[in-house]
A and B are shown apart, each in its own frame.
Chain A
């Protein structure tokens, strides 16, 4: 089945740690996105990539980093510089207007 796979579903991070969230798609889409979702704030764009080896900062990129070495993969690293990382993270891909989302990763700082 075609789709977007995010892993892990739940992730716990200690203060000062970097963690990496995985996102893989087999839809052959060029564009991929990372969003952060907090209660009452909708989806906020962290980073997006329109093509392999190229990516752009979104509205809230500080404290995050990404790579796009393969068309299928767009991992997100939450660094220790992100002071409030507890949130629901969503990865998406698109070819046209419609975005296809993964099931999300819930990150909690412990």
Chain B
């Protein structure tokens, strides 16, 4: 079993839809939970991260962490064609140097 599981998709939605991206994990020591966005043939860029449990909102993006279920989510409201990319979840232990990445979910937002 992988430490971090993420459905690779692809996920196709119409413009304006609410998108839900999810990851599950098995390592209860993870404390930092991150979402990266990667456009085709580019390096990933950090969208947002949360520490421990709870929600975090940044514009149209909301990250949720449920440590009791070992489940994290990224919601995108009013999705735009420019949101079309691969979204990677990533996790790290406190004081750790190794970040564990999910497989990434390819998202297509149709105009």
Contacts and interface: CB of A to CB of B under 8 A. Distances in A.
Interface of A: 4, 6, 31, 35, 40-45, 48, 50, 58, 90, 92, 97-99, 101-104, 106
Interface stretch (B11-19, B73-81, B100-108): B100-108
B60 interface: no
Contacts of B102: 42
A40 B43 contact: no
Interface of A is mostly: strand
A58 B44 CA distance: 19
Q: Which of A4, A31, A43 has the largest number of chain B CB atoms within 10 A?
A: A43
Given A48-B97, A58-B98, A97-B34, A42 B88 contact: yes
A76 to B, nearest CB: 15
A4 B45 CA distance: 12
A43 B88 contact: yes
Interface of B is mostly: loop
A35 B6 CA distance: 18
Q: Which of A4, A101, A103 has the largest number of chain B CB atoms within 10 A?
A: A101
6 contacts: A4-B43, A35-B101, A42-B88, A48-B98, A92-B43, A101-B44
B103 A97 contact: no
Contact of A42 (B43, B49, B98, B101): B101
Q: Which of B6, B8, B43, B99 has the largest number of chain A CB atoms within 10 A?
A: B43
B83 interface: no
B44 A90 contact: yes
Interface pairs A-B: 6 shortest CB-CB:
A101-B43, A43-B101, A42-B103, A42-B101, A98-B46, A40-B8
